[in-house]
A and B are shown apart, each in its own frame.
Chain A
Amino acid sequence: MTADARRRPGIERALAAVAVIGGVLAVVAGSPTRPTRGSVDVTELARIVEHEEDHVTAVELARWIRDDKPRLRVLDIRADSEFDDFHIPGATRVPLAEIARMPLDSAATYVLYSEGGTHAAQGWFLLRARGVKNVFFLRGGLYEWLEQVMNPHVASMTPQAQRDSIRSLTLWFGGKMTVVDSASTVPSALDRELSAPHKSDARESIRKIRRRAC
Protein backbone atom coordinates (compact mmCIF):
# COMPACT_ATOMS: atom_id res chain seq x y z
CA MET A 1 0.00 0.00 0.00
CA THR A 2 1.40 3.42 -0.96
CA ALA A 3 0.41 5.11 2.29
CA ASP A 4 2.45 2.54 4.21
CA ALA A 5 5.37 2.96 1.85
CA ARG A 6 5.35 6.72 2.49
CA ARG A 7 5.33 6.22 6.23
CA ARG A 8 8.20 7.61 8.19
CA PRO A 9 8.01 6.24 11.74
CA GLY A 10 10.68 8.67 12.95
CA ILE A 11 8.61 11.73 12.05
CA GLU A 12 5.45 10.15 13.45
CA ARG A 13 7.16 9.48 16.75
CA ALA A 14 8.58 12.99 16.89
CA LEU A 15 5.13 14.52 16.26
CA ALA A 16 3.57 12.26 18.89
CA ALA A 17 6.27 13.37 21.34
CA VAL A 18 5.51 17.05 20.57
CA ALA A 19 1.80 16.38 21.21
CA VAL A 20 2.57 14.61 24.49
CA ILE A 21 4.84 17.43 25.68
CA GLY A 22 2.29 20.07 24.61
CA GLY A 23 -0.52 18.17 26.33
CA VAL A 24 1.33 17.47 29.57
CA LEU A 25 2.60 21.03 29.89
CA ALA A 26 -0.91 22.33 29.18
CA VAL A 27 -2.15 20.62 32.34
CA VAL A 28 0.23 22.66 34.48
CA ALA A 29 0.35 25.80 32.32
CA GLY A 30 -2.68 27.43 33.89
CA SER A 31 -5.39 29.37 32.09
CA PRO A 32 -4.81 30.06 28.40
CA THR A 33 -6.72 33.32 28.62
CA ARG A 34 -4.94 36.36 29.94
CA PRO A 35 -6.69 38.88 32.18
CA THR A 36 -7.12 42.24 30.44
CA ARG A 37 -5.12 44.67 32.49
CA GLY A 38 -5.72 48.39 32.58
CA SER A 39 -4.45 51.18 34.76
CA VAL A 40 -5.98 54.41 35.96
CA ASP A 41 -4.68 57.66 37.34
CA VAL A 42 -6.81 57.73 40.48
CA THR A 43 -6.23 61.44 41.23
CA GLU A 44 -7.16 62.41 37.68
CA LEU A 45 -10.31 60.28 37.77
CA ALA A 46 -11.36 61.75 41.11
CA ARG A 47 -10.90 65.25 39.65
CA ILE A 48 -12.96 64.38 36.56
CA VAL A 49 -15.77 62.94 38.65
CA GLU A 50 -15.73 65.87 41.07
CA HIS A 51 -15.91 68.38 38.22
CA GLU A 52 -18.76 66.36 36.70
CA GLU A 53 -16.86 65.92 33.45
CA ASP A 54 -17.62 62.22 33.42
CA HIS A 55 -21.20 62.37 32.17
CA VAL A 56 -23.46 64.07 29.66
CA THR A 57 -27.10 65.02 30.04
CA ALA A 58 -29.70 63.47 27.78
CA VAL A 59 -30.23 66.81 26.04
CA GLU A 60 -26.51 67.22 25.36
CA LEU A 61 -26.36 63.70 23.92
CA ALA A 62 -29.47 64.37 21.80
CA ARG A 63 -27.79 67.47 20.37
CA TRP A 64 -24.62 65.51 19.60
CA ILE A 65 -26.62 62.89 17.73
CA ARG A 66 -28.71 65.48 15.87
CA ASP A 67 -25.66 67.56 14.94
CA ASP A 68 -23.79 64.46 13.77
CA LYS A 69 -20.88 64.87 16.15
CA PRO A 70 -17.88 63.27 14.41
CA ARG A 71 -16.96 59.76 15.57
CA LEU A 72 -19.65 59.63 18.24
CA ARG A 73 -20.26 56.08 19.45
CA VAL A 74 -23.28 55.51 21.67
CA LEU A 75 -23.11 52.19 23.52
CA ASP A 76 -26.19 50.57 25.06
CA ILE A 77 -25.19 48.12 27.77
CA ARG A 78 -28.65 46.77 28.62
CA ALA A 79 -29.96 43.30 27.73
CA ASP A 80 -30.67 42.37 24.10
CA SER A 81 -34.44 42.25 24.61
CA GLU A 82 -34.50 45.71 26.18
CA PHE A 83 -32.38 47.03 23.34
CA ASP A 84 -34.80 45.54 20.83
CA ASP A 85 -37.73 47.19 22.61
CA PHE A 86 -36.27 50.65 22.47
CA HIS A 87 -32.85 52.29 22.21
CA ILE A 88 -31.38 55.67 21.53
CA PRO A 89 -31.12 56.10 17.73
CA GLY A 90 -27.70 55.11 16.44
CA ALA A 91 -26.73 53.24 19.60
CA THR A 92 -24.90 49.92 19.45
CA ARG A 93 -25.66 47.19 21.94
CA VAL A 94 -22.51 46.14 23.80
CA PRO A 95 -22.63 43.84 26.87
CA LEU A 96 -20.61 45.13 29.82
CA ALA A 97 -18.28 42.11 29.58
CA GLU A 98 -17.54 43.00 25.96
CA ILE A 99 -16.44 46.50 26.99
CA ALA A 100 -13.43 44.92 28.65
CA ARG A 101 -12.12 43.53 25.38
CA MET A 102 -13.75 45.23 22.40
CA PRO A 103 -11.41 46.94 19.93
CA LEU A 104 -11.28 50.66 20.64
CA ASP A 105 -11.05 53.72 18.44
CA SER A 106 -8.88 56.25 20.28
CA ALA A 107 -10.26 59.16 18.26
CA ALA A 108 -13.91 58.34 19.00
CA THR A 109 -16.18 59.84 21.65
CA TYR A 110 -17.91 57.09 23.59
CA VAL A 111 -21.19 57.60 25.41
CA LEU A 112 -22.46 54.75 27.55
CA TYR A 113 -25.96 54.38 28.83
CA SER A 114 -27.94 51.79 30.76
CA GLU A 115 -31.41 51.77 32.24
CA GLY A 116 -30.42 53.91 35.22
CA GLY A 117 -26.94 55.29 35.52
CA THR A 118 -25.03 52.70 37.55
CA HIS A 119 -23.97 50.17 34.94
CA ALA A 120 -23.03 52.89 32.49
CA ALA A 121 -20.87 54.55 35.17
CA GLN A 122 -19.14 51.23 35.78
CA GLY A 123 -18.61 50.84 32.04
CA TRP A 124 -17.21 54.39 32.00
CA PHE A 125 -14.63 53.33 34.58
CA LEU A 126 -13.68 50.24 32.54
CA LEU A 127 -13.12 52.32 29.40
CA ARG A 128 -11.08 54.89 31.34
CA ALA A 129 -8.97 52.04 32.70
CA ARG A 130 -8.43 50.91 29.12
CA GLY A 131 -7.07 54.34 28.30
CA VAL A 132 -10.01 55.96 26.52
CA LYS A 133 -10.07 59.71 27.18
CA ASN A 134 -13.30 60.77 25.50
CA VAL A 135 -15.80 58.67 27.34
CA PHE A 136 -19.01 59.80 29.04
CA PHE A 137 -22.10 58.21 30.46
CA LEU A 138 -25.70 59.26 30.56
CA ARG A 139 -26.17 60.01 34.26
CA GLY A 140 -29.89 59.37 34.44
CA GLY A 141 -29.75 56.57 31.90
CA LEU A 142 -32.59 55.80 29.56
CA TYR A 143 -35.09 57.29 32.06
CA GLU A 144 -33.45 60.66 31.61
CA TRP A 145 -33.59 60.25 27.84
CA LEU A 146 -37.29 59.39 27.93
CA GLU A 147 -38.04 62.26 30.30
CA GLN A 148 -35.90 65.01 28.86
CA VAL A 149 -35.82 64.17 25.16
CA MET A 150 -38.83 62.02 24.31
CA ASN A 151 -41.46 63.36 26.76
CA PRO A 152 -40.19 66.64 28.20
CA HIS A 153 -42.58 68.57 30.44
CA VAL A 154 -41.89 72.27 30.06
CA ALA A 155 -43.36 74.93 32.34
CA SER A 156 -45.50 77.52 30.62
CA MET A 157 -43.35 80.29 32.09
CA THR A 158 -40.26 79.01 30.24
CA PRO A 159 -39.02 81.59 27.68
CA GLN A 160 -40.34 80.98 24.18
CA ALA A 161 -36.90 80.54 22.59
CA GLN A 162 -35.96 77.81 25.07
CA ARG A 163 -39.30 76.08 24.59
CA ASP A 164 -38.85 76.10 20.81
CA SER A 165 -35.38 74.65 21.12
CA ILE A 166 -36.65 71.81 23.32
CA ARG A 167 -39.62 71.19 21.02
CA SER A 168 -37.49 71.00 17.87
CA LEU A 169 -35.05 68.59 19.53
CA THR A 170 -37.92 66.40 20.79
CA LEU A 171 -39.60 66.39 17.40
CA TRP A 172 -36.33 65.44 15.72
CA PHE A 173 -36.33 62.22 17.77
CA GLY A 174 -40.06 61.64 17.27
CA GLY A 175 -41.02 62.60 20.83
CA LYS A 176 -43.65 64.93 22.17
CA MET A 177 -43.24 67.98 24.38
CA THR A 178 -45.90 68.82 26.95
CA VAL A 179 -46.40 72.29 28.36
CA VAL A 180 -47.52 72.34 31.99
CA ASP A 181 -48.93 75.20 33.98
CA SER A 182 -46.60 75.64 36.86
CA ALA A 183 -42.94 74.88 37.35
CA SER A 184 -43.66 73.26 40.70
CA THR A 185 -45.50 70.35 39.09
CA VAL A 186 -42.46 69.34 37.05
CA PRO A 187 -40.40 66.82 38.98
CA SER A 188 -36.72 67.02 38.19
CA ALA A 189 -34.95 64.02 36.81
CA LEU A 190 -33.07 63.62 40.07
CA ASP A 191 -36.27 63.65 42.19
CA ARG A 192 -37.68 60.87 40.11
CA GLU A 193 -34.39 59.03 40.17
CA LEU A 194 -34.55 58.96 43.97
CA SER A 195 -38.22 58.27 44.53
CA ALA A 196 -40.05 56.53 41.73
CA PRO A 197 -39.93 52.79 41.00
CA HIS A 198 -38.49 53.31 37.54
CA LYS A 199 -38.74 49.97 35.91
CA SER A 200 -42.45 50.19 35.18
CA ASP A 201 -42.05 53.86 34.35
CA ALA A 202 -39.55 53.23 31.59
CA ARG A 203 -41.56 50.30 30.22
CA GLU A 204 -44.72 52.42 30.21
CA SER A 205 -42.98 55.30 28.44
CA ILE A 206 -41.54 52.96 25.84
CA ARG A 207 -44.98 51.45 25.26
CA LYS A 208 -46.46 54.90 24.76
CA ILE A 209 -43.75 55.85 22.29
CA ARG A 210 -44.28 52.65 20.34
CA ARG A 211 -48.05 53.15 20.27
CA ARG A 212 -47.57 56.62 18.90
CA ALA A 213 -45.29 55.29 16.22
CA CYS A 214 -48.07 52.96 15.08
Chain B
Amino acid sequence: MMAPLYEFGRFGDSASLVVAVLLGIAFGWFLEQGGMGNARKLSGQFYFTDLSVLKLMFSAIVTAMLGLFWLSWAGLLDLSRVYVPETFIAPQIVGGLVFGAGFATGGLCPGTSCVAAATGRKDGFALIAGMLAGVFVFGEAFPAIGHFADSTARGAWTLPQAFGLSYGTIVGGVVAVALGAFAGAEWLERRAERPARPMKVVA
Protein backbone atom coordinates (compact mmCIF):
# COMPACT_ATOMS: atom_id res chain seq x y z
CA MET B 1 0.00 0.00 0.00
CA MET B 2 2.84 2.33 0.87
CA ALA B 3 5.26 1.68 -1.98
CA PRO B 4 3.32 3.16 -4.92
CA LEU B 5 2.15 6.20 -2.96
CA TYR B 6 5.70 6.86 -1.78
CA GLU B 7 7.31 6.17 -5.15
CA PHE B 8 5.00 8.54 -7.01
CA GLY B 9 5.58 11.28 -4.45
CA ARG B 10 2.09 11.25 -2.89
CA PHE B 11 3.82 11.60 0.44
CA GLY B 12 7.39 12.35 1.49
CA ASP B 13 9.97 10.72 3.75
CA SER B 14 8.51 11.86 7.08
CA ALA B 15 4.93 10.94 6.15
CA SER B 16 6.12 7.53 4.98
CA LEU B 17 7.73 6.95 8.39
CA VAL B 18 4.41 7.77 10.09
CA VAL B 19 2.63 5.33 7.77
CA ALA B 20 5.31 2.71 8.48
CA VAL B 21 4.74 3.07 12.24
CA LEU B 22 0.97 2.77 11.81
CA LEU B 23 1.30 -0.27 9.54
CA GLY B 24 3.77 -1.82 12.01
CA ILE B 25 1.40 -1.32 14.94
CA ALA B 26 -1.49 -2.78 12.93
CA PHE B 27 0.68 -5.75 11.91
CA GLY B 28 1.71 -6.38 15.53
CA TRP B 29 -1.87 -5.94 16.75
CA PHE B 30 -3.18 -8.60 14.37
CA LEU B 31 -0.28 -10.96 15.15
CA GLU B 32 -1.11 -10.65 18.85
CA GLN B 33 -4.81 -11.15 18.13
CA GLY B 34 -3.90 -14.37 16.32
CA GLY B 35 -1.96 -15.53 19.38
CA MET B 36 1.37 -15.11 17.60
CA GLY B 37 3.01 -13.31 20.53
CA ASN B 38 2.85 -16.51 22.56
CA ALA B 39 6.03 -18.61 22.37
CA ARG B 40 4.21 -21.78 23.55
CA LYS B 41 1.79 -21.53 20.67
CA LEU B 42 4.54 -20.79 18.12
CA SER B 43 6.80 -23.63 19.22
CA GLY B 44 3.83 -25.98 18.84
CA GLN B 45 4.48 -26.08 15.11
CA PHE B 46 7.86 -27.75 15.65
CA TYR B 47 6.13 -30.56 17.59
CA PHE B 48 3.19 -30.75 15.13
CA THR B 49 0.71 -29.91 17.88
CA ASP B 50 -0.29 -26.39 16.79
CA LEU B 51 0.28 -25.38 13.17
CA SER B 52 -1.22 -21.88 13.41
CA VAL B 53 1.97 -20.29 12.05
CA LEU B 54 1.98 -22.47 8.96
CA LYS B 55 -1.69 -21.72 8.35
CA LEU B 56 -1.17 -18.01 8.99
CA MET B 57 1.80 -17.82 6.63
CA PHE B 58 0.04 -19.76 3.87
CA SER B 59 -3.09 -17.59 4.28
CA ALA B 60 -0.95 -14.47 3.90
CA ILE B 61 0.88 -15.90 0.89
CA VAL B 62 -2.31 -16.99 -0.88
CA THR B 63 -4.10 -13.71 -0.12
CA ALA B 64 -1.21 -11.55 -1.33
CA MET B 65 -0.55 -13.78 -4.35
CA LEU B 66 -4.16 -13.83 -5.54
CA GLY B 67 -4.47 -10.10 -4.88
CA LEU B 68 -1.31 -9.24 -6.83
CA PHE B 69 -2.17 -11.60 -9.69
CA TRP B 70 -5.72 -10.40 -10.21
CA LEU B 71 -5.01 -6.70 -9.63
CA SER B 72 -2.21 -6.92 -12.18
CA TRP B 73 -4.46 -8.88 -14.54
CA ALA B 74 -7.08 -6.13 -14.26
CA GLY B 75 -4.42 -3.53 -15.08
CA LEU B 76 -4.58 -1.89 -11.63
CA LEU B 77 -1.08 -2.87 -10.52
CA ASP B 78 2.27 -3.17 -12.31
CA LEU B 79 3.67 -6.55 -11.29
CA SER B 80 7.06 -5.71 -12.81
CA ARG B 81 7.54 -2.96 -10.21
CA VAL B 82 6.91 -5.20 -7.22
CA TYR B 83 10.20 -5.71 -5.39
CA VAL B 84 11.49 -9.28 -5.51
CA PRO B 85 14.30 -9.99 -2.98
CA GLU B 86 17.37 -11.62 -4.49
CA THR B 87 18.02 -15.34 -4.13
CA PHE B 88 21.31 -16.77 -2.84
CA ILE B 89 20.66 -20.52 -2.62
CA ALA B 90 23.36 -21.91 -0.30
CA PRO B 91 23.62 -18.98 2.15
CA GLN B 92 19.83 -18.77 2.41
CA ILE B 93 19.56 -22.49 3.23
CA VAL B 94 22.18 -22.05 5.97
CA GLY B 95 20.51 -18.84 7.16
CA GLY B 96 17.15 -20.61 7.19
CA LEU B 97 18.54 -23.41 9.37
CA VAL B 98 20.08 -20.92 11.82
CA PHE B 99 16.81 -18.98 11.87
CA GLY B 100 14.82 -22.18 12.42
CA ALA B 101 17.11 -23.30 15.25
CA GLY B 102 16.63 -19.95 16.99
CA PHE B 103 12.88 -20.04 16.35
CA ALA B 104 12.51 -23.57 17.76
CA THR B 105 14.68 -22.77 20.78
CA GLY B 106 13.18 -19.39 21.69
CA GLY B 107 9.71 -19.98 20.34
CA LEU B 108 9.56 -16.60 18.61
CA CYS B 109 10.70 -15.17 15.27
CA PRO B 110 11.95 -11.56 14.89
CA GLY B 111 8.51 -10.05 14.23
CA THR B 112 6.70 -12.00 16.92
CA SER B 113 9.49 -11.29 19.46
CA CYS B 114 8.69 -7.57 19.04
CA VAL B 115 4.99 -8.37 19.52
CA ALA B 116 5.81 -10.40 22.64
CA ALA B 117 8.00 -7.59 24.02
CA ALA B 118 5.26 -5.02 23.32
CA THR B 119 2.90 -6.99 25.55
CA GLY B 120 5.58 -7.15 28.28
CA ARG B 121 6.68 -10.78 27.88
CA LYS B 122 10.27 -11.20 29.11
CA ASP B 123 11.17 -13.86 26.54
CA GLY B 124 10.28 -11.30 23.84
CA PHE B 125 12.90 -8.87 25.21
CA ALA B 126 15.46 -11.68 25.48
CA LEU B 127 14.90 -12.66 21.84
CA ILE B 128 15.17 -9.06 20.62
CA ALA B 129 18.52 -8.80 22.43
CA GLY B 130 19.57 -12.08 20.81
CA MET B 131 18.49 -10.86 17.40
CA LEU B 132 20.49 -7.61 17.75
CA ALA B 133 23.50 -9.58 18.99
CA GLY B 134 23.17 -11.85 15.95
CA VAL B 135 23.04 -8.85 13.61
CA PHE B 136 26.16 -7.47 15.28
CA VAL B 137 28.07 -10.77 15.07
CA PHE B 138 27.07 -11.22 11.42
CA GLY B 139 28.24 -7.68 10.63
CA GLU B 140 31.58 -8.20 12.39
CA ALA B 141 32.09 -11.62 10.79
CA PHE B 142 31.12 -10.42 7.31
CA PRO B 143 34.73 -9.99 6.07
CA ALA B 144 35.24 -13.71 6.75
CA ILE B 145 31.87 -15.04 5.55
CA GLY B 146 31.01 -12.40 2.96
CA HIS B 147 32.32 -14.54 0.13
CA PHE B 148 29.93 -17.34 1.07
CA ALA B 149 27.06 -14.91 1.73
CA ASP B 150 27.32 -13.67 -1.87
CA SER B 151 27.66 -17.13 -3.45
CA THR B 152 25.11 -19.05 -5.57
CA ALA B 153 23.38 -15.81 -6.50
CA ARG B 154 20.30 -16.18 -8.72
CA GLY B 155 19.17 -12.55 -8.68
CA ALA B 156 15.44 -11.82 -8.43
CA TRP B 157 14.33 -15.38 -9.08
CA THR B 158 10.63 -16.21 -9.19
CA LEU B 159 8.82 -19.56 -9.27
CA PRO B 160 7.53 -19.03 -12.86
CA GLN B 161 11.18 -18.55 -13.94
CA ALA B 162 12.49 -21.48 -11.89
CA PHE B 163 9.90 -23.94 -13.21
CA GLY B 164 9.47 -22.42 -16.67
CA LEU B 165 5.71 -22.26 -16.14
CA SER B 166 3.23 -19.41 -16.60
CA TYR B 167 2.32 -17.15 -13.69
CA GLY B 168 -1.23 -18.46 -13.66
CA THR B 169 -0.14 -22.10 -13.42
CA ILE B 170 2.10 -21.29 -10.46
CA VAL B 171 -0.73 -19.38 -8.76
CA GLY B 172 -3.06 -22.35 -9.18
CA GLY B 173 -0.34 -24.71 -7.96
CA VAL B 174 0.44 -22.66 -4.85
CA VAL B 175 -3.27 -22.50 -3.95
CA ALA B 176 -3.46 -26.30 -4.27
CA VAL B 177 -0.35 -26.76 -2.11
CA ALA B 178 -1.72 -24.30 0.48
CA LEU B 179 -5.08 -26.10 0.72
CA GLY B 180 -3.26 -29.43 0.99
CA ALA B 181 -1.08 -27.94 3.75
CA PHE B 182 -4.16 -26.67 5.61
CA ALA B 183 -5.80 -30.08 5.45
CA GLY B 184 -2.56 -31.78 6.54
CA ALA B 185 -2.07 -29.28 9.39
CA GLU B 186 -5.61 -29.81 10.71
CA TRP B 187 -5.13 -33.58 10.55
CA LEU B 188 -1.85 -33.30 12.51
CA GLU B 189 -3.52 -31.06 15.10
CA ARG B 190 -6.43 -33.51 15.55
CA ARG B 191 -3.97 -36.39 15.88
CA ALA B 192 -1.98 -34.43 18.51
CA GLU B 193 -5.10 -33.89 20.59
CA ARG B 194 -6.19 -37.56 20.62
CA PRO B 195 -3.54 -39.38 22.73
CA ALA B 196 -3.95 -36.80 25.50
CA ARG B 197 -7.14 -38.47 26.80
CA PRO B 198 -5.95 -42.05 27.41
CA MET B 199 -2.87 -40.65 29.17
CA LYS B 200 -5.11 -38.91 31.69
CA VAL B 201 -6.83 -42.21 32.38
CA VAL B 202 -3.48 -43.86 33.05
CA ALA B 203 -2.47 -41.07 35.39
Which residues does chain A contribute within 8 Å of B172, judged by CB atoms?
A: 23-24, 26-27
Known A-B contacts A29-B73, A29-B168, A32-B73; A20 and B79 likewise in contact (beta carbons under 8 Å) = no
Residues 18-32 of A, flagged 1 when their CB comes within 8 A of B and 0 if not, give 011011101111111
B164 → A minimal CB distance (Å)? 14
Q: Which residue of B lies closest to A22 (CB)?
A: B66
A3 within 8 A of B: yes
In the complex, A34 has a CB within 8 A of chain B = yes
Q: Give B53 Cβ to nearest chain A Cβ, in Å.
A: 12
Whole-angstrom CA separation of A38 from B97 in the bound complex: 49
At the interface, yes or no: A189 with Cβ under 8 Å from chain B? no
Residues of B close to A19: CB separation below 8 A:
62, 66, 175, 178-179
Query: Contact residue range for chain A?
Result: 10 to 19
Given contacts A3-B52, A32-B69, contact A26 B78 (CB under 8 A): no
- B75:A23 contact, CB within 8 angstroms: no
Q: Smallest CB-CB separation from B77: which chain A residue?
A: A32
State whether A101 touches B66 (Cβ < 8 A): no
**Given contact pairs A16-B182, A19-B66, A33-B80, A26 touches B35 in the complex (Cβ within 8 A):** no
Chain A at the B interface: SS class: helix
Q: Which residues of B contact A20 (CB under 8 A)?
A: 175, 179
Q: Which of A22, A23, A30, A34 has the most CB of B within 10 A?
A: A23
B163 close to chain A: CB less than 8 A: no
Query: Which of the residues B8, B80, B175 comes within 8 Å of A23, measured between beta carbons?
Result: B175
The residue that A26 contacts in the complex, of B8, B66, B79, B179, with Cβ under 8 A, is B66
Q: Give the distance in Å from the alpha carbon of A28 to the alpha carbon of B175 in the complex.
A: 14
A25 to chain B, nearest CB (A): 8
Smallest CB-CB separation from A29: which chain B residue? B168
Per-residue A-contact encoding for B163-187, CB less than 8 Å = 1, 0 else: 0001111011011101100100000
Residues A34 and B176 in contact in the complex (CB < 8 Å), given A3-B52, A28-B168, A103-B8? no
The answer for the CA separation of A22 and B141 in the assembled complex, in Å, is 46
Asked if B80 and A101 make an inter-chain contact with CB atoms under 8 angstroms apart, the answer reads yes
Q: Is B72 an interface residue (CB 8 A)?
A: yes
Closest residue to A23 on the B side, CB-wise? B175
Contact residues in A for B73 (Cβ distance below 8 Å): 29-30, 32
Chain B residue at smallest Cβ distance from A33: B79
A26 touches B178 (CB 8 A): no
Closest chain A residue, CB of each to CB of B66: A22
B27 within 8 A of A: no
Contact partners of A103 in chain B: CB under 8 A: 8
Whether A23 contacts B166 in the complex (CB less than 8 A), given A16-B179, A32-B79, comes out as no
Please tell me if B11 contacts chain A, counting CB pairs below 8 Å.
no
Contact between chains at A23 and B78 (CB < 8 Å):
no
Q: Which residues from chain B contact A34 at a C-beta distance below 8 Å?
A: 72, 75
* Bound Cα distance from A26 to B52, whole angstroms: 27
What residues of chain B have their CB less than 8 Å away from a CB belonging to chain A? 8, 35, 52, 62, 66, 68-70, 72-73, 75, 78-80, 166-169, 171-172, 174-176, 178-179, 182
Chain A residues close to B by CB (< 8 Å): 3, 16, 19-20, 22-24, 26-34, 101, 103
Q: Across the A-B interface, give the 7 residue pairs with the lowest CB-CB distance, nearest first.
A: A23-B175, A26-B171, A27-B172, A32-B72, A26-B168, A22-B66, A23-B172
**Sampled A-B contacts (27; CB under 8 Å):** A19-B62, A19-B175, A19-B178, A20-B175, A20-B179, A22-B66, A22-B69, A22-B171, A23-B171, A23-B172, A23-B174, A26-B167, A26-B171, A26-B172, A27-B172, A29-B69, A29-B73, A30-B73, A32-B68, A32-B70, A32-B72, A32-B168, A33-B72, A33-B78, A33-B167, A101-B78, A103-B8
Given A28-B168, A33-B79, 7 additional A-B pairs, CB 8 A:
A19-B62, A19-B66, A19-B178, A26-B66, A27-B168, A27-B172, A30-B73
